[in-house]
Structure 1
Amino acid sequence: MTAANPANVTARRSWRVVTAGLFAVAAGLFTSPSNAQLRVDISGVGATQYPIAIADFANNPDSQSLAEVIRADLSRSGQFQLINAAGANLNAESSIVHDDWRNRGADYLAYGSVNQNGGQYSIQYRLVDSVNRSEIDGIAFAGSEKELRRISHQIADRIYEKITGVRGVFSTRIAYVLQTGNTYELQIADADGQNPQVMLRSKQSIISPSWSPDGTRLAYVSFEADKPVVYVQTLATGKREPIANFKGNNSAPAWAPNGNQLAVVLSRDGISQIYTINQDGSGLRRVMRSPLIDTEPAYTPDGESMVFTSDRGGNPQIYQVSVGGNDARRITFNGGYNISPEVSPDGNNLVYVTRRNGAYRVATQDMATGAEQLLTTGPDDQSPSFAPNGMQVLYSSVQGGRSVLAVTSVDGRVRQTLSSLNGKVREPTWGPFTN
């Protein structure tokens, strides 16, 4: 197969990562905040919704409303019905009249207090089950004013887990590429799209960001050297190193679960093939040999195998192979075009992009049974990435002629759109749990 032309490369991520670099200008490194906050629009509700009231926290500083952030987090999940808590006037030591909250329709109530001592804040939070008349969670946090939003996400995570039994992802981060005019920025942000930080700014394309398992580093592909080169960047310091800069194209990095190795795609031998490489750029090893393009590797959670995209069967499909390179087998059979695979954190499901009736849509497939579910409607949905709890999928989408980030629940019932006020948002990837 020959390399795709630039227009198709832009539209279809799988073949973008195997094309030659078409651009050149030096890149600059930044760790500054970005002004391009993302706006969130939500549609749909979950199959089960938990009625909960989130009371305003007593003594809440005017500069930050913890309760508002918690409400927004839970609302975005589509799994909670927010009950009006106006006039509650509760603090962390208040006695709760459970029947009053039941009569309001709230099965659960979260409340608390915020106290300030100089530049430090102490936050006490409580969660009660008004049906069983019991306190089911309570904890104290401490931090500066800048940390209050992070603490709000942590409280929302605790509420989510205590009620649903699944770990919350509101404290996690996402990475994506924002294109504004001829400028590309690799950004990271909170899971709700707030607090974006620019990790790299370039006049040339940036693609394929990939989080390290501990969330401290990003691997990505930059075209600043007149061809695609794989870099690894440490987020805390901004330091970055090229780890794959071989002859030809270097692309599609994916971290191994142990954080010590990556899979990369190289064309050093004339055609794009999958290799493994140590995080410092040593130990290069070819995984297998194929007469046609193999690309987009992604490890399974156990680290023993990879899924990848290949046209070895005549059209792009998804295959699985052991890390030793033995027994590659095709695993997608629905539709004639399936790309961009990723395996869920529990190893049970595959997410990918499929083309149906000319539209690029996000789908999931049961790894055991092969049963498929189409999650989105297209027309151009790309780069799906599981949330670290496996309950949602982040992807890029074209909506109303604009390129945006979107999130869908794994049952397809709830969708969010995180749209940038300026520019095109692409190449999303959801970061891991970090504690």
Structure 2
Amino acid sequence: MNRTLQPGQRSEVWIASVTGESELLYSTGEVLLEAPNWTLDGSSLVLNGDGKLWTLEIAAATLAHVPLRGARDLNNDHVLAPDGRTIFCSANDGHIYRAALTGGTAEQVTTEDGTFHFLHGVSPDGTALAYVGIEAGDLTKPGRLMTMASDGGAAAALSVDSHCDGPEYSPDGSWLYFNTEAFTGRPGHAQLARIRVDGTGLEQLL
């Protein structure tokens, strides 16, 4: 089910600098916008809202729908590929899709393997995806740290025996950084960790 604004609510998109300044870029009472990602050239943001993808052009602060066929009810898990032209998205049907950022037909890259796939990371060379797999889409079950080729195929589970979320690749592609409950006995109290992409070297960072 797509998240929506409640009566009287507004959705705001802000830009903040690393030095502390912030600027309200866009505000709307029509659609709940989430998860902004910069385009490669820095001219726009890519967001989701109402199960769709949108681009927000920075200079003119204009919002435009990205027309996609074959992928419906997108959630807020979307990541741009390093080529700057391709985007990978998770949908509420539990699958990950690949599409051109300009729109068109979206290609499903995950298989019917009994899990829901929540995308989080694309490797620096664009050949691999890191995601969280949840058995049968049952959110009461722990998320498993998974990787797969970005053009589809078999998935690999990395050996972390606890709930994981939010995996992102290191700039050199050799590590995955994520949060996990592997280092605590208290559910809901996750720490930051990293693991090599081959599944070795698990260590707590924070």
Q: Same fold by TM (over 0.5)?
A: yes
Q: CA–CA distance in 1 between the matches of 2:200 and 2:193?
A: 13
Is 2:25 aligned against 1:246?
Answer: no
1:259 aligns with 2:46: no
Please say if 1:283 is aligned against 2:65. no
Tell me the residue number matched to 2:79. 298
- Over aligned residue pairs, what C-alpha RMSD do you find? 2.5
Superposed counterparts of 1:22-421, under 5 Å = 229-236=12-19, 238-247=20-29, 248-266=31-49, 271-280=50-59, 282-289=61-68, 292-295=72-75, 296-311=77-92, 315-333=93-111, 334-356=113-135, 358-368=141-151, 370-399=153-182, 400-401=185-186, 402-419=189-206
The CA deviation at 1:289 is: 5.0
> What CA distance in whole angstroms lies between the structure 2 residues aligned with 1:301 and 1:395?
20
2:153 partner SS = coil
1:302 Cα offset (Å): 0.5
Distance 1:250 1:398, change over 3 A: same
Where structure 1 has 5 or more consecutive residues not aligned to the other structure, the ranges are: 4-17, 22-224, 420-435
Provide TM-score, normalisation by structure 2: 0.82
More strand by share: 2
Structure 1's 261 and 376: CA in aligned 2 closer, same or farther, altered over 3 A?
A: farther
Which deviations, in whole Å up to 9, do the C-alpha atoms of 1:104-160 show, x marking residues without a partner? xxxxxxxxxxxxxxxxxxxxxxxxxxxxxxxxxxxxxxxxxxxxxxxxxxxxxxxxx
Kept in 2: contact 1:394–1:405 (CA 8 A): yes
Distance 1:231 1:252 in 2: 11
CA distance in 2, matches of 1:227, 1:284: 15
CA distance in structure 2 between the aligned counterparts of 1:228 and 1:385, rounded to whole angstroms: 26
d(CA) in 1 for partners of 2:123, 2:26: 27
Between the two proteins, what is the percent identity of the paired residues? 23
Larger Rg: 1
1:388: how far off? Answer: 1.1
CA deviation vs aligned residue, 1:283-318 (integer Å, no higher than 9, x gap) = 32211257842132211100111000112xxx2211
Provide the C-alpha distance between the structure 1 equivalents of 2:58 and 2:115, rounded to a whole number of angstroms. Answer: 35
Q: Hey, what's the Cα distance between the residues in 1 that align with 2:180 and 2:11?
A: 24
Higher RCO, 1 or 2 (CA under 8 Å, sep at least 6)? Answer: 1
Q: What is the alpha-carbon distance in structure 1 between the residues aligned to residue 127 and residue 55 of structure 2?
A: 24
Find the aligned partners of 2:204 and 2:58 in 1 and give their Cα distance: 34
What amino acid does structure 2 have at the position aligned with 1:417? Q
1:245 CA displacement: 2.4
Instruction: Look up the equivalent residue of 2:41 and give its one-letter code.
Output: N
**Contact 2:54/2:65 (8 A) holds in 1:** yes
Change (3 A) 1:393 1:341: same
Aligned partner letter, 1:318: I
Query: Letter of the aligned partner of 2:91 in structure 1?
Result: S
Normalized per residue, which structure has more helix?
Answer: 1
Aligned residues: 193
- Distance in 2 (CA, whole Å) between partners of 1:289 and 1:417 is 39
Letter paired with 1:325: G
Question: Aligned in 2, Cα 1:391/1:249: closer, same or farther, shift over 3 Å?
Answer: same
- 1:227: Cα distance to partner? 5.6
- Code of the residue aligned with 1:409 in structure 2: it is R
How far did 1:281 drift? 6.0
Secondary structure at the aligned position of 1:337 is classed as strand
**TM-score normalised by L of structure 1:** 0.41
SS at match of 1:359: coil
In the aligned structure 1, how far is the partner of 2:122 from the partner of 2:142? 22
Structure-2 separation of matches of 1:228 and 1:367: 32
Secondary structure at 1:389 match in 2? coil
Residue identity matched to 2:110: T
Unaligned runs of 5+ in 2: none
